Structure 1
């Protein structure tokens, strides 16, 4: 029996309409098109020439959308080997030159990436979408994600966006960042933080 391939596509920019493969739905849920579109509508031209980091990247559809819209480069961190293989294929189909992929734990890799970019001239946008279908230990992954953002020392991180379950109470402040906007899309929401 052949597995059905799930796909999504780039919404706008120079790779508009380009198909991206999605990992099987049991390992990851793809960021819904409406949510993705809203996120990039908020960013508009602020994405141009920025460094984009997608934590818990899955298929990489958010970071690759950023590249399609002229982000300077994108970093992806993914823990699941099968999702990571899909991510690599997607990067190759868009622009492998601009993609930096890491197979590993976001909580370990993220501080390393941010540290390496401390003196980068470009500003950084960080997209954090913790997998929230692991019922137990679910709150822990959010707490660890909040902690990770609290510990960011970079002065060049301009925006941190969380994709999260709508019922989750988001902190007003995370270290040097404060919440300035939230938008709900059914079960998922986006919360935006900027440096104070």
Structure 2
């Protein structure tokens, strides 16, 4: 696995062995960041269900000012830390170990997120995650939220949110939405 674009382009990332995480493929990451374009530059980015941290690290490579990585698995957090240290981007990264959505209710960092990327295990998306982010004030009207899920997963958002775009890539779907 490698970084696709930006200042760290071509650098390799460590990943976990086995099926504990499902890293976002290079094709999907490239498509995601092509869609985001310059919105990433100087953004505060949240990579929730971070796994190996590939999406958040790609955001740093493409100019994000700060990236928060949230992951519940201890080994995955270790891999994210190693990747961040190897790449020398520790000052731009905050790694938080915790379970989503509960972690959002005890979140001590109160940065305003510009972009929130959610990549729960396929079939496990729960609207409680969105509700927790909204209730705790993390989703503003200008926050772009992106959900990565299975291409056939039905996403039922409340009327409070508007889907801007949906893109399918093989078995993966990216859903872009904002709060009204």
TM-score by length of 1: 0.82
Q: Which whole-Å deviations, capped at 9, do the CAs of 1:86-136 have from their partners, x for residues lacking one?
A: 01101112201100001111212234448612xx5xx5200000012xxxx
Q: Which residue of 1 aligns with 2:118?
A: 128
Q: Which residue of 2 aligns with 1:193?
A: 177
Displacement of 1:146: 4.0
Q: Which residue of 2 aligns with 1:37?
A: 30
Q: Which whole-Å deviations, capped at 9, do the CAs of 1:57-110 have from their partners, x for residues lacking one?
A: 011000000000110000001111111110110111220110000111121223
Displacement of 1:152: 5.3
The separation in 2 between residues aligned to 1:151 and 1:56, in whole angstroms, is 19
The structure richer in strand per residue is 1
Residue 14 of structure 2 aligns to a residue whose secondary structure is strand
Q: Which residue of 2 aligns with 1:177?
A: 161
The separation in 1 between residues aligned to 2:171 and 2:33, in whole angstroms, is 19
Rg bigger for which structure? 1
TM-score by length of 2: 0.89
Question: Please, which runs of 5 or more residues in structure 1 have no aligned partner?
Answer: 1-7, 133-137
Residues 93 and 183 of structure 1: CA distance in aligned 2, closer, same or farther (over 3 Å): same
Query: Size of the alignment, in residue pairs?
Result: 178
In the alignment, is residue 53 of structure 1 matched against residue 46 of structure 2? yes
Pick from 105, 109, 122 the counterpart of residue 103 of structure 2: 109
Q: Is the 8 A contact 2:104 2:136 kept in 1?
A: no
Displacement of 1:143: 3.6
Residue 42 of structure 1 aligns to a residue whose secondary structure is helix
The separation in 1 between residues aligned to 2:176 and 2:97, in whole angstroms, is 26
In the alignment, is residue 168 of structure 1 matched against residue 161 of structure 2? no
The separation in 2 between residues aligned to 1:111 and 1:178, in whole angstroms, is 24
Q: Which residue of 2 aligns with 1:22?
A: 15
| C-alpha RMSD over aligned residues | 2.1
Q: Is the 8 A contact 2:119 2:147 kept in 1?
A: yes
